Amino acid sequence: MESVLLPSLIVLFASLLQTCTGFGFAIFATPFLLFFYPAQTAIQLNIILSIVLSLLMIPKVRHDVDRVLLGRLVKGSIPGAAAGIGVFLLLNVDLLRLVIGIVVLSLSTLLLLRFRINAKRAWDFAAGAISGLFTTSLGMPGVPLLLYFSGTELDKATLRSTTLSFFLFIYTVALVMQMLFASTNDQIWFTALALLPALVVGMLLGQILFRHINQETFRYLSLVILLATGGYLLWSSMLTSGPV
């Protein structure tokens, strides 16, 4: 049990973020799980746990889902997911961290300066496509969606419920594709099972916190998540002595 203590703390905090914002699980969990597991193991753990979290949360938030937006994200994600599995099979973790870190920090700075995106049909499809690519390659669909939605005026309840519904779809697609084209093993599933209690505790705490977050606080919390993640990815990509 000691071997999953620190990963459990990571999962607890990540699920808390995901539950109260609609984002944060993969954005927070994946980079830090890379300290404890090989890249493909960390990514698959994130995908499995994210599917479980979405399944647990959707019955509570389904009435807030924007079904039109969800449909566009789903349709856009299919070609992106197909491209991303190729990246996953040829995964160069350090390069991916560097590129994503630079992109996240650059776009987060624009959002911090109150840059606004006019949400429209074409952008919805594009956000879904990029999210699909990020899911099957890195297990991190939230980065492009959080960047996109943080620049719009979508209310927090709709954002949380719609993204959770989308994540359930795209993570399931990603898991199936990775099992078909890559591999998985019993140890990954046993580890995911050991991390489930932390996920449930984080979810319960996140539901409580969500009720006390107003729209402006929600926006700033989203930016903090992005800036911290981008900074971490950029920094960690420059390390050469890590486990991956």
pLDDT tens-digit map of 115-158: 666 667 778 888 888 888 888 777 777 777 777 776 666 777 78
Please count the residues of the chain.
Answer: 244
- List all residues 6 or more positions away from 136 whose beta carbon is below 8 Å from its beta carbon: 80, 81, 82, 83, 84, 85, 87, 88, 173, 174, 177, 178
Average pLDDT over residues 181-195: 86
Q: Provide the pLDDT for residue 38.
A: 82
Q: Which of 152, 131, 26 is nearest to 76 (CA)?
A: 131
What region does 47 belong to: left with phi over 0, alpha with psi -120 to 50, or beta? alpha
d(CA 4, CA 134): 26
CB burial string 221-239: b at 16+ within 10 A, e below:
bbbebbbebbebbbebbee
Q: Which of 59, 24, 22 is nearest to 154 (CA)?
A: 22
Mean pLDDT of the chain: 79
Instruction: Write the CA distances from 149 to 61, 69, 158, 220, 242, integer angstroms.
Output: 18, 11, 11, 13, 33
pLDDT tens-digit map of 64-95: 888 888 889 899 888 888 888 877 777 666 67
CB burial string 66-90: b at 16+ within 10 A, e below:
beebbebbbebbeebbeebbeebee
Q: Is the pLDDT score of 8 beyond 90?
A: yes
Q: Is the pLDDT score of 204 beyond 50?
A: yes
Q: Provide the pLDDT for residue 211.
A: 77
Q: Is the pLDDT score of 243 beyond 50?
A: no
Q: Is the pLDDT score of 209 beyond 70?
A: yes
Q: Provide the pLDDT for residue 48.
A: 92
pLDDT tens-digit map of 92-115: 666 766 776 777 777 677 667 766
Q: Provide the pLDDT for residue 1.
A: 46
pLDDT tens-digit map of 18-68: 887 777 787 778 778 878 888 778 888 988 998 999 888 888 778 888 888
Q: Is the pLDDT score of 188 beyond 80?
A: yes
Q: Provide the pLDDT for residue 201.
A: 94
Q: Provide the pLDDT for residue 116.
A: 63
The pTM for the full model equals 0.75
Angle between helices 25-33 and 39-61 (to 10 degrees): 160
